[in-house]
Amino acid sequence: MAFLKLLLAFAPWIAFLIIAHGSLLRMKIGLVVALVLSVVMGLTRLHRGVILWIGLLFFSSATIAVALLDNAWTARHMGVLASAALATGSWLTIALKKPFTLDYAREHTDPSLWNSPIFIRTNLILTAVWASVFTLNAILAWGKMVHFVLPEVGYEVISYTFLIGTAVFTTWYPGYLRRVRQQS
């Protein structure tokens, strides 16, 4: 999966992350922007699969709760809820043996390989790495929220490092497996 396509797949989440810092107004704007991006990207097929549906469900619910109903609990727990939504959806796709990365990996893989055990296993591994990072980020968001051990910036640095590391791993790992298969 090319790095730019990977960023595009998470564009609504990235937009929300960038915009929603600092105030309730920015959170509301971030939620609306992320929801609109999710809808537009879904309609134009730039975004698909489980991550699209998780985003639509999460951003719709959060927009209603925070922007329309001024629900303080949801606003206060937004970081935990966002990461937990991604983690839950990712783990669910693994449990259903339909890892979410399949939706993106099929774009640049020969259809004859789509049911290959190696292709499916590779995507299970990639999705498990993402699900683990989303889970860790939910825990980090909780730690940040309750001011546990680290300063706020520490939680953010660790969270972003995990996400960037996972994106790099996702782009590197399939190529690495191809090289190993070609050498053997």
Task: Summarize pLDDT for 44-96 with one digit per residue, the tens.
Answer: 887 778 888 999 999 999 999 999 999 999 999 999 999 999 999 999 999 99
Q: Which residue has the higher pLDDT, 48 or 152?
A: 152
pLDDT, averaged across the chain: 91
As a dihedral over the C-alpha atoms of residue 132, residue 134, residue 139, residue 144, rounded to 10 degrees, the angle is: 140
* pLDDT at residue 1 is higher than 70: no
Residues 6+ apart with CB under 8 A from 177: 118, 122
Q: Left (φ > 0), alpha (ψ -120 to 50) or beta: where does 49 sit? A: left
Is the four-CA dihedral 155, 161, 13, 81 of positive or negative sign? negative
Q: Is pLDDT above 60 for 101?
A: yes
What percentage of residues in the chain have a pLDDT greater than 70?
Answer: 98
Q: Is the pLDDT of residue 152 over 80?
A: yes
**Which residue type sits at 1?**
M
Torsion of CA 17, 22, 26, 31, to 10 degrees: 30
The band of 181, judged by pLDDT with boundaries at 50, 70 and 90, is confident
Instruction: In whole angstroms, give the CA distance from residue 71 to residue 64.
Output: 9
What is the C-alpha radius of gyration for the chain, rounded to an integer number of angstroms? 17
- Per the listing, tokens 């001011």 go with 147
Segment 2-23, tens digit of pLDDT: 667 777 888 999 999 999 988 9
Mean pLDDT of 127-151: 93
CA distances, 175 to each of 1, 22, 78, 169 (Å): 9, 39, 35, 10
**In this predicted structure, what is the pLDDT of residue 2?**
61
For the segment 153-161, the average pLDDT, to the nearest whole number, is 92
Q: What distance in Å separates the CA atoms of residue 50 and residue 32, rounded to the nearest whole number?
A: 20
Number of domains the chain is built from? 1
Q: Give residue 53's domain range.
A: 3-183
